Amino acid sequence: MFKYVKHLNYPVNIQKKDLKMAKSLLTQFGGANSELAASLRYFSQKFTMPDEKGKALLNDIATEELGHCEMICTMVSQLVKDATVEELKEAGLDGMYAEHKKGVYPTDANGVPFTATYFAVTGDVIADLYEDMAAEQKARAVYENLIDMTTDEDVLGVLLFLRQREIVHFNRFKQLKDYYQEKGY
């Protein structure tokens, strides 16, 4: 059961359009190391966790990752809001426009659509938790790359928040992995 709270985990209020940044941000919605991949990975893996502790943690983080998808999509939407078709074409977003107008669709920065092959579910508790820790580290690295690409304080604040959440998630998964290894899983 979910309860939707109608505000983002961190406020997104971007004032300046930046189509190239919007294009780059798409990777955190639908790319290989995206929030969408993380959410589906953790949601799928929770069913083979050996106890409620593991199931609850994976479900909680999966849900939070969906909230991060919402933040990324809000950013992309705000960054392209007042763009003309010509500006979208110049920024390399003409394919997106042709298919989705200014709608946000899960792709990476190159326009490659999201695929479930971006994540693994092995059914092995320890292997899956290592997968999760690696996913969080890769997402952190992508956020650091995105941070390097902008000077817009409105964009930076959100990216720094999201980067920090990747670190928190990594640590939570590591704690759970260590706990299960001590229990002999």
* Residue 30 token pair: 């639908």
Both tokens of 59, joined, read 């479900």
Fold for 19-182, please state it. Ferritin (1.20.1260)
Whole-angstrom distance, CA of residue 84 vs CA of residue 178: 52
pLDDT digits (tens, 9 = 90+) for 106-134: 999 999 999 999 999 999 999 999 999 99
Q: Return the domain boundaries, the chain.
A: 19-182
**Residue 115 vs residues 32, 37, 134, 158: alpha-carbon distances, Å:** 8, 8, 18, 25
Answer whether residue 159 shows pLDDT above 80.
Answer: yes
pLDDT band for position 1 (50/70/90)? low
Amino acid at 76: V
Secondary structure (3-state) at 183: coil
Report which of 79, 93, 48, 45 is spatially closest to residue 65, judged by C-alpha positions.
45
Q: Are 92 and 42 in contact (CB under 8 A)?
A: no
Q: What is the pTM of this model?
A: 0.95
Task: Give pLDDT tens digits for 58-69.
Answer: 999 999 999 999
Residue 4 has pLDDT above 90, yes or no: no
